[in-house]
Structure 1
Amino acid sequence: MTMENPQVRGWIDAKTAAERLGVKPATLYAYVSRGVLRRKHAPDGRRSLFDAAQVEELARRGKPRRPPGPGELAIESAITALGADRPFYRGRDALAMAETRTFEDAATWLWTGRDEDPGAWRAREDGVAAAVAAQSGLPAGLLPLDRLQLIVTALAATDPLRHHLDPEGVTATGRALVAGLIEALPPAGGTPGTGRVAERLWGRLCPHPPEPGGLPRAFEAAMILLADHELAASTVAVRVAASVRADPYAVVASGLGVLSGPLHGGASYGAERLIAEVADPASASRALGERLRAGERVPGFGHGVYKSGDGRGTLLMDLIRSAAPGHERLAAAEAVLDEAARRRLPPPNIDFALATLGAVAGLVPGAGEAIFAVARTAGWLAHALEEYGRRGPLRPRAVYVGPPPS
């Protein structure tokens, strides 16, 4: 039986329903034929109307899943559902969580599905010392994500409990791992934070101490919004690693390697560089025009899931606007948005909002990738926990198209 939202009643036309669901009008009629939506004819007999409450429920729940097609791998999971414009963590609206909860709350919810004390998030001192020492020969100016890939390996080498794959062991490792990833990063110049996870990460990525509310709240909201996103490319790699019982550190290392790609977590760095090129709002046209003329993909725009707009990016941009009205770097980002709309580019996504946060807060280069990586560690470990509870390894099969074996 369909659960109806009592705040949404009546019937709406096809255009309104399609926009709310982020689908083409033809898809609405496919939903009707499959029994997913109810339809009736308008009194004039020329239009179709759709049950508004049912459309709203479908938008919140996500598009009905079809059977996997060629080249697709279907994995059952109870962690994250993708709605029309946002993810839901174990049934909870990630955007609502981002406005009111801490990153520790969100991670604990992803790992356990329970509202409970998130516990102490402390790194192993010997692990942090080893990770800091391992970075001693690295070149100056290395981006934070490159450091994180080395740090996770050093943390693993010093943890004798890393092979404990029971739920309590994995969540304890997760708290220490996230704290270690942060504490082993070099401070950005200010005093490293000692409070919540988001405050500590701020101190490693921003040379200025956080002020109460404002941008630090947007920073923590970004971490919650990025904590998981169903079976993104890095999460598939993580689940494959966990399915063969790789330890949590190896699982996170697998995710970090995939996350660095410019079509995944690395997209925020591309958007960061785009905004940096816009010295003043008038130069936004040139910055976008040069990329489009060269046939390049404009980073920070469009999304493979949210065709009508990424609600995560919308919320994060609103938090930044509220925290820093009139900021010159925000004005540059707004100019890029205006120019992108004028050129009919797809809507902006969370990568663009993350780059805007970095520009307005004065974060170090590549900070968006680091926020993404540390935050997504929570989701990766939630997926690892599911795989540890299964019996066998994930084994995708290839469709061989090469020469006949001889």
Structure 2
Amino acid sequence: MDLYIDAEQAAAELGISLATLYTYISRRGIRSQKVPGTKKRQYWKADIDRIKSRKGKAQEAPQSGEQQNSQLTLLTPDGPYYRGQSAIALSETHSLEDVAALLWNIDRDSVFGDSVAMAPVELQKLYDVFEGASIADKAIGILPFIERANPRAFDLSHEGMCRTGADLLRWYAAIFAGRDIPHSEPLHIQTAALAGGSHEVADLIRRVLVISADHGFGAGTYAVRAVASTGVTPYRSVLAGFAIAPGRRNVLGHRAAIARLLTELDESPNPEQVIARRMQEGEDLPGFRIPWPYVDGDPRAQRLMEDLQRIRGDHPLFVKAAAAFAYAKNELGRHAGHGMVNDLIARVIGLPSREYLYPLGRCAGWVAHSIEGYMAEDVAQPVADYRGPLPQTR
């Protein structure tokens, strides 16, 4: 008797699509193992039979607002797929503008033209007020003024929101660089200028931005969609994503801890011992939390490590980090995640901060969710299950 079956057989047994099967892996406890020498997985047949035996029986109906439908990003063990196309494969040749247009379902040239959004008259004063603040806080404070200076932002048609999305991405890049106006040149070229501007660095940044564009329904995405559903412009809905970024329970909120760990690795003559000591003393390994549905490490992080090794494999910090990552994987079964690799890339190529790369890419996805959330025409209103004290009767 076969203990495992492949994905196609499992989906057929359950009468579901492959996409739905991937959601079952975590939510319904389907166990699997990797097929040696391939990227495929086999699924524990007993788990498939268990779920199959329950199909058709009464199940608790999902709460209103508990599940949201989307046509944007599918998460699989091989990485995210944007509208059916592999994000990792797209990163080989596409720019963030290309992928944004794909996610927004619009022609790239119709929204990423030469015209740029106007600057608010208060811009220099705002730069002075937010001097020294994080890029997220600067964006939260400045973007509403950019919205007000550009009346076309209030066009909430599909094409209008896409144009605003393009303006928003370019303004995010301008705010980080402290420029008075946004530029229309490719975003990865603009970013590379902050790190010396070499072709190979620009190409790596392009790959990072594409791979970071969207990752399904994280906390930031839920926040963005809920705000967008009320009918605000993308300038304001995307602010919801920035607002939760520093949250201690949010992946983006681990940036400071990841930075400290990388500094330890950089300063230590034995990077493996840094990892071993943290584990021996019961400390966490920030940047090593791998999100569902990745089983054997985050394929986005793995691909970017290969890309970084190709252009900066002899960089002292890369050498130490790679040794530490290998030790954590081989001895502890822990894998460096996408956020950790983003921070490593920023340091190795000489960017001022990782907080520029990842949120710039993710803005494209947040705009896509803003558009989809608003076009759904229903204000997001999850139903709460009250668990507090009940009224007393006489």
Shared fold, TM over 0.5: yes
The residue aligned with 2:73 is 80
Deviates more, 1:302-311 or 1:115-124: 115-124
State the alpha-carbon separation in 1 of the partners of residues 329 and 305 from structure 2.
16
When residues 71 and 319 of structure 1 are mapped into structure 2, their CA distance, relative to the original with a 3 A threshold, is: farther
Q: Distance in 2 between matches of 1:179 and 1:325?
A: 31
1:84-233 matched pairs, under 5 angstroms: 84-112=77-105, 119-120=112-113, 122-127=115-120, 130-140=122-132, 142-186=133-177, 195-203=185-193, 206=194, 208-212=195-199, 214-233=200-219
Give the aligned partner of residue 48 of structure 1: none
Alignment correspondent of 1:331: 319
Distance of aligned partners of 1:133 and 1:72 in 2 relative to their CA distance in 1, 3 Å threshold: same
Q: Deviations over 1:135-193 (max 9, x none)?
A: 203353x33333222232332232222221111100111111111111122359xxx98
Please tell me whether residue 320 in structure 1 is matched to residue 308 in structure 2: yes
- Please identify, of 347-356 and 271-280, the stretch whose mean Cα deviation from structure 2 is larger: 271-280
Partner of 2:266: 279
Is 1:372 the counterpart of 2:358? The answer is: yes
Aligned to 1:357: 345
SS in 2 for 1:335: helix
Q: Is 1:235–2:221 an aligned residue pair?
A: yes
Q: Structure 1 pair 116/96, CA: closer, same or farther in 2 (3 Å)?
A: farther
Deviation at 1:349, TM superposition (A): 1.4
Number of the residue aligned with 2:47:
30
TM-score of the aligned structures, taking structure 1 as reference length: 0.77
Single out whichever of 347-356 and 262-271 deviates more from structure 2.
262-271
Distance 1:269 1:384 in 2: 28
Which shifted more, 385-394 or 223-232?
A: 385-394
Moved more, 117-126 or 214-223: 117-126
1:327-382 Cα offsets, whole Å, 9 max, x none, are 11211211221332254142221112101101211111xx2222121211111111
**Contact 2:247 2:253 survives alignment (8 Å):** yes
Amino acid corresponding to residue 379 of structure 1 in structure 2: G
Contact 2:39-2:78 within 8 A present in 1 as well: no
User: Take 2:269 and 2:391, find their aligned partners in 1: how far apart are those partners?
Assistant: 61
Q: Per the alignment, do residues 324 and 387 of structure 1 end up closer, same or farther by CA in structure 2, a change over 3 Å counting? A: same
What letter is aligned with 1:84?
P
1:280 and 1:379 map into 2 onto residues whose CA distance is 36
Query: Who is 1:297 aligned against?
Result: 284
Gaps of 5+ in 1: 4-13, 36-65
What is the match of residue 275 of structure 2?
288
**Could you tell me how far apart the structure 2 residues matched to 1:34 and 1:404 are?**
37
Q: Percent identity of the aligned residues?
A: 23
User: How many residues of Structure 1 are paired with residues of Structure 2 in the alignment?
Assistant: 353
Distance 1:253 1:272 in 2: 24
Supply the RMSD in Å over aligned alpha carbons: 3.1
* SS of residue paired to 2:91: helix
Distance 2:114 2:254 in 1: 29
